[in-house]
């Protein structure tokens, strides 16, 4: 009897050991598989900084140095939704570096929601400009009625801190301001974004809080367009009427609402190359970057095609700048976090082709 008990105990122990080994083997194979999967995922570029989450990079060269004005992503605990409430940023942190590939400095907060008298919440994608001995930071933020407006703040230092004006820019609305100064000294702001950017809720100069949550909802009519306006000489106000940025196809017809792969969604940017004006933007829910060209900063612009395929993560937002004779695109993805609202800024070289288009960039190699 004792022998049977001992035999049974020994058998049980052997089974436990065998099962344990089997589980360890499964875990090992699973880990190896995961590692292999991770190793297979390759990116065109690496994040510029890993200490904080950054997105929507607007890059400029000031005094021979590169300054990047990004959104500062944080984990705020807000539930994800189509309005983008989970993008609940509180401040801006300027990045700077002496050259591409060089050491990146993360500066102290340049501007916070609490520094803006009229602000409510959500400091989204900003841009910056220099003129008249001052640096200007343009930013979209929801006012105390939860309506996006665009504000301006000033500083004598490109890294800030910036002091915000007491009120938003009169006549401003929606998101994603991008300021372009032409060779003749005139400055223009391109702005707007549908869905959470609220552009679709503005009609006849008035905001409709009960308007569409997405776009115009008129699939076979011209899509909602970005906006363009000339800035005043002091860079603090709009000088004249806000106009539509009209994008036409190769046949000269406006892009339609249903044309999700080509029509404007958000993230406007303007740069000038060989005398042509390049209006570039994100198609948003289809995640492409597209370009359109004109002989005039006001447009109309002729659609040229996609120049960046979708990044990892929901949003695509960029800037294009010339640095020491080469052109670069600054963009973001979610390599570090894997979460759509916790992004990281990247940079890669950009090439203009002889036919006037931009060479296609694929941010994910794996």
- Give the residue numbers annotated as catalytic, written as ranges: 56, 266
Two tokens at 37? 């999967």
Where are the extended beta strands (E) located within 218-282? 227-230, 243-244, 247-248, 266-273, 276-282
Asked if residues 315 and 343 have their Cβ atoms less than 8 Å apart, the reply is yes
- Angle subtended at Cα 58 by Cα 163 and Cα 264, rounded to the nearest 5 degrees: 115
C-beta atoms surrounding 79 within 10 Å: 6
- Would you report the helix, strand and coil content of the chain in percent, each value rounded to 5? 15, 40, 45
Q: How far apart are CA 95 and CA 115, in angstroms?
A: 20
- Angle subtended at Cα 34 by Cα 32 and Cα 36, rounded to the nearest 5 degrees: 65
Q: How far apart are CA 345 and CA 15, in angstroms?
A: 52
């Amino acid at each position: 009897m004792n022998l049977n008990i001992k035999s049974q105990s020994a058998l049980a122990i052997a089974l436990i050991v065998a099962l344990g080994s089997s589980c360890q083997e499964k875990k090992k194979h699973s880990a190896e598989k995961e590692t292999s999967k991770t190793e297979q995922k390759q990116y065109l570029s690496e994040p510029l900084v890993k200490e904080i989450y950054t997105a929507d990079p607007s890059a400029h060269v000031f005094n021979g140095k590169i300054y990047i004005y990004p959104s500062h992503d944080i984990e705020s605990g807000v539930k994800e939704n189509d309005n983008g409430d989970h993008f609940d940023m509180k401040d801006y942190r300027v990045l700077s570096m002496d050259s591409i590939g060089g050491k990146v400095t993360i500066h102290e907060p340049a501007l916070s929601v609490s520094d803006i008298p009229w602000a409510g919440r959500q400091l989204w994608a900003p841009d910056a400009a220099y003129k008249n001995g001052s640096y200007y930071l343009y930013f979209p933020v929801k006012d105390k009625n939860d309506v996006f407006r665009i504000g301006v703040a000033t500083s004598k230092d490109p890294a800030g801190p910036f002091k915000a004006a007491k009120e938003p820019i009169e006549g401003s609305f929606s998101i994603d301001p991008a300021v372009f100064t032409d060779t003749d000294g005139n400055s223009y702001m391109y702005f707007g974004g549908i869905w959470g950017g609220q552009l679709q809720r503005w009609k006849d100069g008035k905001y409709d809080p009960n308007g569409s949550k997405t776009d115009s909802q008129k699939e076979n009519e011209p899509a909602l367009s970005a906006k363009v306006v000339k800035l005043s000489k002091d860079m603090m106000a709009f000088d004249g009427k806000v106009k539509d940025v009209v994008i036409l196809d190769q046949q000269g017809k406006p892009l339609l609402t249903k044309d999700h792969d080509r029509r404007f969604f958000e993230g406007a940017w303007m740069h000038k190359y060989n005398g042509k004006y390049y209006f570039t933007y994100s198609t948003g829910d289809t995640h492409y970057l597209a370009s359109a060209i004109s002989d005039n900063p006001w447009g109309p612009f002729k659609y040229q095609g996609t120049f960046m395929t979708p990044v990892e993560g929901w949003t695509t937002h960029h800037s294009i700048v010339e640095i020491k004779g080469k052109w670069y695109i600054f963009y973001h993805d979610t390599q570090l976090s894997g979460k759509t609202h916790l992004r990281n800024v990247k940079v890669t070289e950009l090439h203009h082709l002889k036919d006037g288009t931009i060479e296609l960039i694929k941010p994910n190699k794996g």
